[in-house]
Structure 1
Amino acid sequence: MTGRRPRAFYVLSIVFGLFILFLYGPMISILVLSFQGPEGGLVFPMNGFSTHWFGTLLAGGSQVGIGSALRRSFLLAIVVMVLTVAISVLAGLAFRRRFRGATVLLYVAIASLIVPSIVVSLGIALEFRLFDNAIKALGASMGIGWIQGNFISALGPYTSGLGAHLTWTLPFGLLIMFAVFNRFDPAYEEAARDLGATSWQTFRHVTLPIIAPFLIGVAVFGFTLSWDELARSSQVMGSENTLPMQLAAKTTTVTDPEIYALGTATTFGSVVLVIVTFTLASLIQKRRRGG
């Protein structure tokens, strides 16, 4: 216990430190550069120190044009989060019982994790273009004026975009819920049924409170994976960009640190979200233990 640490300890510590610097260095650089003065540029060294670019961002005088894209991404992430939680819980409950084709269905559900994201996006876009052609052909054959005069494409954030994001978030939610229910003790549910509880009452008052902390984790996965998804969004959003798409489009034209201010603000929001959800999970666990 009193001997000197081996040399390997210091070597591995240096390697680990370099890894942490490599991992968080870009985020730290953006954080620092977002506080440049009004005459600041996109690279070091800094030219002054102020919150000027945050003020520009909040004032709406932005050349980045992210207001509508920000709202669109946030609302889409909320919808994806809710659907991911609901579908994951229902699938977890369903897979607690054996049924024919369960293994095949599981592999199909998680297959999108190993398929390149851009391929998924292209495939969904192609599928919806076939839908578009079918709808236009239907409108022409039946003389439906609205389709002939107004219909352009079914591609959009809450159609093809929603489907593309769910192919990314659902496998994570499913795997989490499968792990949760594999460790779930059915004795609690049996005790509730012995006391006269219906299936719904058992789920609401017994099962749901036990799995609630894990549902928070699934919700965070669903929201954050949708919030920053770019590759699967690139071909399926139609004429409306999400925030990551808008930022990717503007990186070739932005000439000031305002985009860094936006990155800092969204990163701060993500960190706050994670802290809040972990706090809620901790409180739920503490309350469940009667602490």
Structure 2
Amino acid sequence: MEKRPASFYVLSAFFALFILFLYGPTITIAILSFQGPEGGLTFPMRGASLYWFKDLFEEQAVGDIWGAFGRSLVLGLMVMVTTLVVSVLGGMAFRQRFTGSTALFYLIIASLVIPSILVSLGVGLIFQQAGLKVHWATSGFGSQLTWTLPFGLLIMFAVFNRFDKAYEEAARDQGATAWQTFWYITLPMIAPSLIGVGLFGFTLSYDEFARTLLTAGSYNTLPLEIFGMTTNVTTPVIYALGTLTTLFSFIVIGTALAAVMVASRRKAKRAAIARAAEKAANAGRAEG
């Protein structure tokens, strides 16, 4: 067996440290959430139980945890759908060169480098000056779109840059309208990427703190509620909440990955059927 160079072990150690840094805090919180009833916020643990998970579901639990979770869920779904629709439309539009397309592209991407807290402050001020109520479903929704839309558009730009237009041209040659071509050809081919865009939109919204801080109004989203709890909660109930929200995030990601696998298999199946049909047609023409 060929001896590995020293750089391999250095890079492996660096990668191991990276994984530890990435998941270590989450694992620590998950462990501490199983403290016993007399447990605190630090090690060593005082017993092991599900007491703090039960306390989290009690009516007297601190804060408006479940209201905040519901608002984050609804807001995440709103952002996800909007990001999907606008990203697809934007990606389709940028397939053709038009006057000002380059400037518009950089203008869209520029929102990623603007400090999030300044975006939150600016959106909140615009709503106040316009006499509109600052609310998580309006100003909060708009400020989060400034974060999710550039990511969604970048993904769609990459997808359409690799897209083979020959399939669409073949459909139009067969008499398909523009809508039929999009619905039956383009959309099925980009479906796995759309799942990724939707996942980006939802998770970025569900996790967003800075751009929602000054635009959520009187009602907190879940990240804001958790931040508020860190100032007045001195029990592992906050760790239990963190563990459950992390588990929910993994469930969302797992569901998205499963959907991508199903979409990919269906795409492969359709391609196999098309190849078989084309082979049969060629064989028929050869016999004729």
TM norm structure 1: 0.89
Question: RMSD of the TM alignment (CA)?
Answer: 1.3
Superposed CA deviations along residues 126-171 of structure 1, whole A, max 9, x for unmatched, are 1112101xxxxxxxxxxxxxxxxxxxx5211121111100000000
In the alignment, the residues of structure 2 paired with residue 215 and residue 195 of structure 1 have an alpha-carbon distance, to the nearest angstrom, of 27
Q: Which runs of 5+ in 1 are unaligned?
A: 133-152
Aligned runs of 1:9-28 on 2, under 5 Å?
9-28=8-27
Q: Could you say which residue in structure 2 is the equivalent of 1:82?
A: 81
Contact 1:165 1:232 in 2 (8 A): yes
1:31 aligns with 2:30: yes
Q: Which runs of 5+ in 2 are unaligned?
A: 273-288
In the alignment, the residues of structure 1 paired with residue 9 and residue 92 of structure 2 have an alpha-carbon distance, to the nearest angstrom, of 49
Aligned runs of 1:90-101 on 2, under 5 Å?
90-101=89-100
- 1:96 alignment partner AA: R
Q: Could you say which residue in structure 2 is the equivalent of 1:42?
A: 41
- 2:90 alignment partner AA: A
Superposed CA deviations along residues 87-124 of structure 1, whole A, max 9, x for unmatched, are 00001111111111111111111111000000111111
Q: State the Cα distance separating 1:60 from its structure 2 match.
A: 3.4
TM norm structure 2: 0.90
Q: Could you say which residue in structure 2 is the equivalent of 1:124?
A: 123
In the alignment, the residues of structure 2 paired with residue 181 and residue 6 of structure 1 have an alpha-carbon distance, to the nearest angstrom, of 40
Aligned runs of 1:231-242 on 2, under 5 Å?
231-242=210-221
Identity of aligned residues (%): 56
Q: State the Cα distance separating 1:249 from its structure 2 match.
A: 1.2
Q: Could you say which residue in structure 2 is the equivalent of 1:206?
A: 185
Q: Could you say which residue in structure 1 is the equivalent of 2:203?
A: 224
Q: Could you say which residue in structure 1 is the equivalent of 2:102?
A: 103
Compare 97-106 and 69-78 and name the one that shifted more. Answer: 97-106
- 2:51 alignment partner AA: H
Contact 1:157 1:240 in 2 (8 A): yes
Q: State the Cα distance separating 1:3 from its structure 2 match.
A: 4.2
1:286 aligns with 2:257: no
Describe the shift of the 1:260–1:64 C-alpha distance in structure 2 as closer, same or farther (beyond 3 A).
farther
Aligned runs of 1:238-277 on 2, under 5 Å?
238-277=217-256
Contact 1:172 1:221 in 2 (8 A): yes
In the alignment, the residues of structure 2 paired with residue 8 and residue 101 of structure 1 have an alpha-carbon distance, to the nearest angstrom, of 47
- 1:256 alignment partner AA: T
Describe the shift of the 1:110–1:11 C-alpha distance in structure 2 as closer, same or farther (beyond 3 A).
closer
